[in-house]
């Protein structure tokens, strides 16, 4: 994720955050997963990627 941040690739950062959120969710770390997924969802929304935002929302729904 750091490499994406270094080059200013917001989409890459958002995708990494979503993946990290899903991994945290699958390992039972729900609070940390929620934080990563909410941040990723906001980033996807900011860059206009509605599919990425929807995927984050789906994962957040799975946590609940």
pLDDT range class, residue 8, cuts 50, 70, 90: confident
- Between CA 43 and CA 31 the distance in angstroms is 19
The model's pTM:
0.90
Which residue, among 49, 38, 62, has the nearest Cα to 12 in the 3D structure? 49
Residues ≥6 apart with Cβ < 8 Å to 17: 1, 36, 37, 39, 40, 43
Evaluate if residue 64 carries a pLDDT over 90.
no
Evaluate if residue 1 carries a pLDDT over 80.
no
Give the three-class secondary structure for 27. Answer: coil
């Amino acid at each position: 994720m750091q490499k994406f941040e270094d080059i200013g690739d917001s989409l890459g950062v958002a995708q990494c955050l979503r993946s990290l959120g899903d991994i945290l969710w699958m390992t039972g770390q729900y609070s940390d997963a929620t934080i990563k997924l909410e941040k990723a969802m906001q980033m996807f929304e900011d860059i206009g990627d509605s599919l990425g935002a929807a995927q984050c929302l789906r994962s957040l729904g799975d946590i609940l």
